[in-house]
Amino acid sequence: MADQIKAAMPEASFEFELLERDPDHLRTVVAMPNQTRPLIDHASLKLKHRIGRGPFGDVWLATHHQSADDFYEYHEVAVKMLHPLRDDHAQTFVDRFEELFFKCREIQGVCWLHGISIINGKIGIAMKFYEGSLDDRIAWLKGGKLQLSHVLRYGIDLAKAIQALHSVRFLVLNLKPSNFLLDEHDQLILGDFGIPYLLRGIPLLDSDMVLRLGTPNYMAPEQWEPEVRGPISFEADAWGFGCSVIEMLTEIYQTVVIRKEKPDIPSGLPPALENVIKGCFEYDIRNRPQMADILLAFESSQTAVFSDGGWSGLGSRGLTERSNGKGYTAWYLLKDRLQVGDMVRSRKPLNGCKPQTPVIPEGIVVGLDICADKSDFVLVKISRLHNPLRVQASTLERVTSGFSAGDWVCLKEEKSKHSPLGIIHSVQRDGSATVAFLGLEC
């Protein structure tokens, strides 16, 4: 396999300090010439010693040597050595990595990738080396937990990095404090860019080893059995995010999936923070918050926290866990705000099996009405009525081409790689839709 990978000619890289606004908070930036391929010649990577071990392989400290006619240099890097894969499966992984490589390099807050190589028959991913992780920081602290102000700051860094990966259609699926690296300015860097996602559907060479879509204590229910509990979507990362925050606040997070119990949320948190963490642990993926909702809750809570870790209670407006009697959470309802011109109908119960006669079978939004109590209402024109009805927005769902977000759908032609049954994650107003199928990621 190593002979089949042809590495590009090495090109010099350098780091510089980027001054944005505050001279006391510089950001380290790695600059490199345009790199056409992420492949690295295995001979230029020298493994020194192992520094970590995880469910997908080992992490080694290494040096990456680069030379040309007019220069020679080397960098200290971390290399994630994955468990062995068959040659054809290894090539599949390399192709997926190459798609991610250039997108990932443009994302601030995600570990800088040097490239990929095959070393002694194993895939090795070379990335920037950081001295420590958030897991290390927690282990050294008295009491083994962080102050709330630090949790919020790290949580904001993490949510921004995850949101950026989601924007380029990649999932992490392996969020945990040991994968949250800290740079020289104490900023959190996401050290796993989605290895479980890149390994999806690829069996290990050793048939006795089980390859899971994440690390057990931090996996969402649907990650354990995608074919049964799926589908896997962006909201799977909300669960892992919530697990990690609980560990930051309480030292140890124990799995809740097997016991089917919700984790204990620390008392005394700002309401917005408490509500969004609770939302991360909804078993129905549709009821979990999106990363934008999580980021907003953390940022709003940050303004209410004092330097000693206490909080004032100001600027943290919480959302109720359930918004109506049909099983929808506020996080579900925030995923699609109605606009004038939208076709709508009454929401059905989230997991209702029996058909119900809707109050509004179909209508068009002709006006918006936001009250002082922050309850959103809309004016809906129904064909059989002369005047539009004033209806609470949370009781309606947008319909585009006959479909709504959350609808279960079935492909007309079955695919061999996954189930034809799936759930609509989102429907755009132009009719395009994102569907997560059972046994396949969103």
Using the 3D structure, point to which of 293, 308, 323 is the last residue of a domain.
308
Summarised one tens digit per residue, pLDDT across range 46-84 is 999 999 998 899 999 999 988 766 667 888 999 999 999
- Under 8 Å CB-to-CB from 114, ≥6 apart: which residues? 40, 64, 75, 77, 126, 127, 128
Is there a single domain that holds both residue 150 and residue 255?
A: yes
CATH number at residue 355: 2.30.30
Which residues of the chain carry a pLDDT beneath 70?
A: 1-36, 68-71, 208, 230, 251-261, 306-327, 350-358, 370-375, 415-418, 438-442
Residue 315 lies in a domain: no
Predicted confidence (pLDDT) per residue in 12-30, tens digit: 454 555 555 555 555 555 5
Whether 189 and 223 share a structural domain: yes
Q: Measure the CA–CA gap between 232 and 292, rounded to whole angstroms.
A: 18
Domain containing 271: what range? 132-308
Sign of the Cα torsion 331, 438, 83, 55 reads positive
Query: Do 160 and 245 belong together in one domain?
Result: yes
CA distance linking residue 145 with residue 135, whole number of Å: 10
For residues 109 and 219, state if they share a domain.
no
Residues 361 and 408 in one domain: yes
CA 331 to chain centre: 16
179: CATH:
1.10.510.10
Torsion on CA atoms 19, 21, 24, 29, rounded to nearest 10: -30
Nearest CA-CA partner of 107 in 19, 169, 155: 169
Assess contact for 289 and 238: CB atoms under 8 A. yes
The confidence score (pLDDT) of residue 130 equals: 93
Cβ-contact 176, 218 below 8 angstroms: yes
What's phi and psi for 124, nearest 5 deg? -120, 130
* Identity at 403, one-letter amino acid code: F
State which amino acid sits at residue 381. Answer: K
* Residue at 318 is within a domain: no
Last residue of a domain, one of 128, 155, 179: 128
Query: Could you report the per-residue pLDDT of 219-229, keeping only the tens digit for each?
Result: 998 888 877 77
How many domains does the chain contain in total? 3
Dist CA 289 CA 305 (whole Å): 22
* Domain identity same for 120 and 137: no
In a domain, 237, yes or no: yes
**Would residue 239 count as lying in a domain?**
yes
Both 158 and 269 in one domain: the answer is yes
Looking at residue 96, its pLDDT comes to 93
pLDDT of residue 314: 39
pTM of the full predicted structure? 0.78
Secondary element (H or E) of residue 433: strand 433-437
Residue 442's pLDDT is what?
Answer: 46
Out of 78, 99, 128, a domain closes at 128
In a domain, 7, yes or no: no
Strand partners, 281: none
Q: Are 398 and 343 in contact (CB under 8 A)?
A: yes
Residues 265 and 251 occupy one common structural domain? yes
- In this structure, the answer to whether residues 185 and 298 fall within a common structural domain is yes
pLDDT of res. 73: 82
